[in-house]
Chain A
Amino acid sequence: MIVHEDVLQRAVDLALELGASYAEARYHRLASSSITTRYGDVISYGERLSEGIGVRVLVDGALGFSATNSLDWEHAREAVEEAVKLARAHARLMKSRIEFAEARVGRAKYEAVSLKPFDSMSLEDKASLLIDVWKSVGEAVRECKVMTLMCSFNESVEEKTVINSDGAYVVSKVPRLSVSYNFVLLHPQRGTIQRRFSYGASGGLELLDEWRVAEEASEEAAKLERVLVEGVEPPREPVDVVVGSEVVGLIVHESCGHPSEADRILGREAAQAGMSFIKPGMLGARIGSEHATVIDDPTVPRSYGFYLYDDEGVPARPRYLYREGVINEHLHNRWTASVFKVESNAAARAMDYNSEPIIRMANTYLKPGDYSFEELIEDVELGVYIRSYMEWNIDDVRWGQRYVGLEAYMIEGGELGKPVRNPVLEITTKGFYSRIDAVGKELRFYPGTCGKGEPAQGVPVWFGGPDVRLRRVTLGVVAR
């Protein structure tokens, strides 16, 4: 059931009548289905439908949010009344009033392109695709046993209608597809190695034509078996490190995207996802070399984090967060834009009807350079190439971070050598961006579900980049 837009408009009107200075009503529907397999068997099939109305109001300088998953006017009315009542009751605890910056909000309808609809392929064929992963991984390994292998196939369609008291009217529809696998290889003497990986994008089943899931899983299994069987410890002295695109994507998400969220900079997430090493007034500060340009762009076609208007109705555009090594721009919603006296750059996004819109990344990536992979490694006498990772984390101000390599190789005399097992890149944000001295030319993206907010909201994002070269890094090892 798609909600009658009249209910949303009435909700906004009622909030204004009750004294709100700003009101928005969002109908938000997420329909998804998934197949889960273990080895060569389908374990289960699942469908989820989340659908409801989220209402947000500003009353006497306090912000109230209320949600219901009944779409009738009575429940919408109650949601508005409760949001206004609670915001008003808490206004006396405000030291300074929350205000929203002026914005040129949109009136638009848009839809992400899906060339092959989800129902153009049978469930049986979708399940076969996952079962092929099991077959191909099993055939790829020689000395190891596949201790476990699970896969999932997920389709979803997100539909939203956002109406607010500043005239926004935005209707959107974004289909998304993802395929994931997790496998553990077991060697009788060398223990285990584990890999989780996901493909994800907005669009339809045409994405499957590009993803080569079974082939790539098979290639990975063969390479990881080699890492497990032959892998050596990384060198302990400082070496040059070529960080693969997959790891670079995660690094820019964690150490540029997150600390650039203006709500985090202002302390709104202090007790949950933490704060930021970036403080108000740090625009223009140097954080890295001239090769460090990081962009967050919701408008990348077919991206997992795709949108054209945010949930406050503001039109999206690319945000240059770090530009040539300098902190250049933060991610804003209309509240933080007001505090920083800038315009919102459309980062407000909610996971579902039940969630308030908060500042989120969309598709964050390091700007590519002009090096081929061979050029990146050709003058490295002794180094390590880290292609993929499993473990990662970063501290609550987004400064000290750790990525443990999974598929990794020695670089010796400008060529890839023996596999390296579990090299640890544990480095500060400035340490990473300052050491980039060469950037590859091939930009690749990876999907993720980014967590933030309270209650926690997971939203789809892409993160990506090319391979990059860092000079003189001391790598660590995992505990034995």
Chain B
Amino acid sequence: MRELGVSEVAAKLVRDAINRGFDEAAARVVGLRAVMVKLANSEVSVVQRWNNLSASLYLAKGGRILTTTLSASSIDRIGELVERCLSAASQLKPSPLYAPLPEPAPVEPLSGLVDKAVIDGMADPAPLAEELIGEALDEGAEKVAGTLALSYYEKGLATSRGVELRESSTGVEGYLRAFVGESSGQWAVGSRRLERGALRLVARTAASLALKARGEPRDLKPGTYDLVLSPMVVGNLVDLVGMMSSALAVMMGFSIFARAKPGSKVASERFTLLDEPRNPELLGSTAFDDEGMPTRNKPIIEAGVLKTLLHNTKTAAKMGAASTGNAGWIRPHPWTLHIPAGDASLDEMISEVRRGLLVTNNWYTRLQNYVEGIFSTITRDAVIYIEDGELKHPVARVRIADRLPTLLSNIELVGKELHDISWWEVKPPVRAPYILVRSVHVSRPFD
């Protein structure tokens, strides 16, 4: 079926499913070509390349909900799968989550999602990888590790309500960890466009953070500190908030919003979090969701107030809301998150801290209780102690261990420079500033 376009394949799959007896069907067909250069010890550890065609189907019969995902090799044999799903549907009771697929709505395509330079760059990304390594070493790094990924993505969507849509996009993700002795710094960028300057900036920032954290790191006494969180850290933590804003996460017990209603105060008034799918600059942007609904930019949290959960038509019907254009057939999800800029510079934030830390990167965020938001996450790379408004000395790895609602409520300053972050620990991508949070619990391990 590779000779057909993605939306034609999707339409054919929908017709097949309906002809075989399903009440409703939707199909999303994705063609992906991508190349990724993985770097370690300032050389290439592996170059990976993909060329795949995959299809996902949503099927409904008598209120039962079924989904399937297929590889190219089996798309031609969709009939067998649909028959099996029909048999499965006959054995299950209707889903309380069921609601009909929506009627088609006008979708305004997004322009600027494809950058030809990305597609051209996929043929030979070696010069870009070389540039990333070289820039970091020139800046003073002793060695680097990281990833450069270029992709071209075609999405076709069809539904039995008559939706037939297609969208193409390119993507660039680059991140680098630079080492100077035992200290390290890491930075990342995600974009629809291949901008060499942005990649070079990633390399220089990673190296400069590693240089800034040079010296013997000191152990921090556990306690409460003010934290200046970099966009890397902010990205990781607001991804968690974004995930929790999915109405399904609320229904399934994976959200701090399980006991909050839109209109509730859930964060500091200085904090706004947007889902911004219609900004074509942002990796993750798209014009339509998996039900064919047009996406729209919207605040999830605005000036500290929860404005909306993210819905598909099913969760919306269940909760008496309207779709927000965030389907997922089962799970609504954010497309790409954006924290609007505040007015503080990084230096101003640091100057506001009497006793605290500049935290530049983190990973491994886990929760004891999603409803209460009890979590911890661990710093990695440069962490620098701040005393009386000045950066003092590097600090050994610590853990931010608090409650997410406390962290959101204690946000005091929001930075004026925004950074488009996408890497291993920040997906979906986030456009984020530095943020100053007051009085956060920090711990370290017992020897």
Q: How far is B89's CA from A45's CA once the two chains are assembled, in angstroms? A: 8
B373 to chain A, nearest CB (A): 10
Which residue of the partner chain A has the closest CB to B367? A391
Residues of B contacting A83 with CB < 8 Å? 47, 49
Which of these binds chain A: B21-29, B35-43, B163-171? Answer: B35-43
B378 interfacial by beta-carbon distance below 8 Å: yes
B93 interfacial by beta-carbon distance below 8 Å: yes
Which residue of the partner chain A has the closest CB to B184? A270
Q: How far is B258's CA from A41's CA once the two chains are assembled, in angstroms? A: 19
B52 interfacial by beta-carbon distance below 8 Å: yes
Q: Is B251 within 8 A of A38, CB to CB? A: yes
B19 interfacial by beta-carbon distance below 8 Å: no
Query: Which label, helix, strand, loop or mixed, suits the secondary structure of the B interface?
Result: strand
Q: Is A94 within 8 A of B399, CB to CB? A: no
Residues of A contacting B51 with CB < 8 Å? 66-68, 75, 78-79, 82
B330 interfacial by beta-carbon distance below 8 Å: yes
Also in contact, A90 and B71, with CB within 8 A (given A192-B372, A474-B446)? no
Which of these binds chain B: A10-18, A368-376, A424-432? Answer: A424-432
Q: How far is B93's CA from A95's CA once the two chains are assembled, in angstroms? A: 61
Residues of B contacting A149 with CB < 8 Å? 253
B380 to chain A, nearest CB (A): 5
For B50, B124, B186, B377, which residue has the most chain A Cβ atoms within 10 angstroms? Answer: B50
Which residue of the partner chain B has the closest CB to A186? B371
Q: Is B252 within 8 A of A391, CB to CB? A: no
A54 to chain B, nearest CB (A): 10
B225 interfacial by beta-carbon distance below 8 Å: no
Cross-chain contact of A390 among B145, B251, B367 (Cβ < 8 A): B367
Question: How big is chain B's contact interface, by range?
Answer: 35 or more
Q: Is A147 within 8 A of B258, CB to CB? A: yes
Which of these binds chain A: B154-162, B295-303, B352-360, B400-408? Answer: B400-408
Which residue of the partner chain A has the closest CB to B127? A89
Which of these binds chain B: A393-401, A440-448, A460-468? Answer: A393-401
B99 interfacial by beta-carbon distance below 8 Å: no
Also in contact, A62 and B52, with CB within 8 A (given A90-B37, A401-B445)? no
Q: Is A51 within 8 A of B367, CB to CB? A: no
Which of these binds chain A: B10-18, B72-80, B231-239, B428-436? Answer: B72-80
Also in contact, A391 and B374, with CB within 8 A (given A123-B88, A479-B401)? yes
B111 interfacial by beta-carbon distance below 8 Å: no
B146 interfacial by beta-carbon distance below 8 Å: yes
Residues of B contacting A71 with CB < 8 Å? 73
Residues of A contacting B444 with CB < 8 Å? 400, 426
Residues of A contacting B38 with CB < 8 Å? 268, 454
| Binary B-proximity of A77-104 (CB < 8 A = 1, otherwise 0) | 0110011001101101111100000000
Residues of B contacting A391 with CB < 8 Å? 366-368, 374-376
A120 interfacial by beta-carbon distance below 8 Å: no
Q: Is A124 within 8 A of B445, CB to CB? A: no
Residues of A contacting B44 with CB < 8 Å? 62-63, 90, 93-94
Q: Which 5 A-B pairs have the closest CB atoms?
A: A148-B253, A270-B145, A391-B368, A400-B445, A393-B364
Q: Which residues of A contact B (CB under 8 A)?
A: 1, 33, 35-36, 38, 41-52, 62-71, 75, 78-79, 82-83, 86-87, 89-90, 92-96, 122-124, 127, 147-150, 182-184, 191-194, 266-274, 354, 356, 390-396, 399-402, 404, 406, 422, 424, 426-428, 430-431, 454-456, 473-474, 476, 478-480
Q: Which residues of B contact A (CB under 8 A)?
A: 2, 35-54, 64-74, 77, 81, 84-85, 88-89, 91-93, 95-97, 124, 126, 129-130, 133, 143, 145-147, 175-177, 179, 186, 222, 251-254, 258, 330, 363-372, 374-378, 380, 397, 399, 401-403, 406, 424, 441, 443-447
